[in-house]
Structure 1
Amino acid sequence: MGQQQLLLIVLGVIIVGIAVVVGINVFSASSLQANNDAVIADLTNMGSMAQQYYRKPSQLGGGGQDFGGWKIPGKLVSTPNGTYSVSDSGSTATYIVLQGKGNEVNNSGDTLLVSLRVEPSDLRVVSTNVND
């Protein structure tokens, strides 16, 4: 083989190696964002359940204009997207904060964490560490 052919082979191997590294980085970022979106979707679903509890009269098993006593349904505490918890709402609460711990790790090496504030007529993501 000539020297030019060897140089082309080495150059080709370098280009393929760079492409593989870039592909892995893009996949990692996409995977983290997908997990963040899935955790937010789960939290939004749970927030909607909490709002239903808030609006339902206490005589019918609801909160009667109070989030106090609402718990995450047992099957939703842990899903394929992550694990979830609710702030201690105490005996009376006008809002609660749901927390989701995802399965992916961000750029800092920390597990994905998302917080959602649930009010009687509003759901708001108050924090996420997806871009850390």
Structure 2
Amino acid sequence: MGTQQILLIVLSVIIVGVAIAVGISMFNNTAYNSNKTAVAADAQSYASQVVQYYKTPSSQGGANGVLAAGSEATIGAFIGWGADSTTNDNGAFTLSGVTDGAAGVVVITGVGTSVKDAKNPQIVATITFPAGTVTAVASDVAVP
């Protein structure tokens, strides 16, 4: 083989290696962003179920507009968790911040399973009562 052919082969190997590295990086970024989006969607769904619990009459197992009627475990059981936390394919979720009375705040924290730069995606959904408004904040937390 000539010098030119060897140089083209080496150059081709370098280009293919760089393309593979860029492809892997793009895949990891997309997987992380997809996991963050999935955790946010789950947190929003759970938040809407908490609002449903708040508005459901006590005769049907709800809070009847009073958060004192339920603890984290009670709300978790109503939305199908069985306790104050649950996990699924997207991440781990916890309920906290249940306060007494008609006014109050419930916080749902979801931590995703995907890892990027030693961090997991985190979504904190805050439900404010009696209005039932839901706000969600996305961030990254260090891998435990």
Which TM-score band (shorter chain)?
Answer: 0.7 to 0.9
Cα distance in 2 for residues equivalent to 1:127 and 1:36: 8
Gaps of 5+ in 2: none
What TM-score, normalized to structure 1? 0.87
In structure 1, what is the Cα distance between the partners aligned to 2:97 and 2:134?
Answer: 17
Q: Which runs of 5+ in 1 are unaligned?
A: none
8 Å Cα contact 1:50/1:67 also seen in 2? no
- TM-score by length of structure 2 reads 0.80
CA change 1:46–1:67 in 2 (3 A) is farther
CA RMSD, 1 decimal: 2.0
Taking the TM superposition and a 5 Å limit, the aligned residue runs for 1:23-102 are 23-68=23-68, 69=70, 70-71=75-76, 72-74=79-81, 77-92=86-101, 94-102=104-112
The sequence identity of aligned pairs, in percent, is 34
Question: Matched residues in 1 for 2:42 and 2:12: separation?
Answer: 45
Give SS of 1:36's match: helix
- Which residue identity is paired with 1:124? T
| 1:114 aligned onto 2:123 | yes
Is residue 9 of structure 2 the alignment partner of residue 2 of structure 1? no
